[in-house]
Amino acid sequence: MTMSSAANILLKQFKELTSNPVPGFTVALQDDDVFEWDVGIIGAPKTIYEGGYFKATLKFPDDYPFNPPTFKFNNEFFHPNVYSDGRLCISILHPPVDDPTSGETAAERWNPTQSVESILISIVSLMGDPNCSSPANVDAGVMYRTDRDSYNGIVHAQVEASKKDIPEGLKIPTSKETNRR
């Protein structure tokens, strides 16, 4: 039973997410491995990401949910909180540590009550609302604050480039159709 409880939890959450999909992303298992998920983030309508489809990998540790998964975009993703190798830096995926300088304002860190769904929702929300106080990509952080037009331009190019990854049959919602449930 030792190894199976993490796998059980993940399998359950995976089934839940595939039978009741949450708008905004798709999930699939990589080679039937419940510890490695293929995630597709669907650009939210009425945002600069509209029309895009961004592939990423969610990797879970053996002792999930006691430690957080890692999230990595498969392609370059220009964003203040994404490293050049695609790794996403988001507080809820940081191991819970005593941070002596953080005080009470510290952002929420990993905690086993998070579900995959809540993780993905936080990620989608970070995409549109970067945290520029501790940027993983300094250039993106600076540009986001000082030159939004150029920033949006780069994002737009990435949205266009990402369209090749849209799986067959997946309808990407746009603001014109507003067909979100």
Report the interface residues with other proteins, using CB under 8 A: 1-3, 5, 8-9, 12-13, 16, 63, 65-66, 95-101, 104, 106, 108-115, 134-135, 138-139, 141-142, 146
Residue 160: CB minimum distance to other proteins, A: 27
Q: Considering 39, 48, 56, 89, which one is annotated as catalytic? A: 89
Sheet holding 70-73, edge to edge: 25-30, 33-42, 53-59, 70-73
Question: Which CB atom, from 44 or from 90, has the smaller least distance to other proteins?
Answer: 90
- Shortest distance, position 65 Cβ to other proteins, whole Å: 7
Closer residue to other proteins, CB minimum distance, 30 or 67: 67
Evaluated on CA atoms 125, 53, 55, 85, the torsion sign reads: negative
In the complex, the smallest distance separating the C-beta of residue 48 from other proteins, rounded to whole angstroms, is 22
Separate counts of helices (H) and strands (E) for the chain? 4, 4
Sign of CA dihedral 43, 45, 50, 53: positive
Is 132 considered catalytic here? no
Spell out the alpha helix ranges (H) of the chain. Answer: 4-19, 116-128, 138-146, 148-162
Just list the catalytic residues.
89
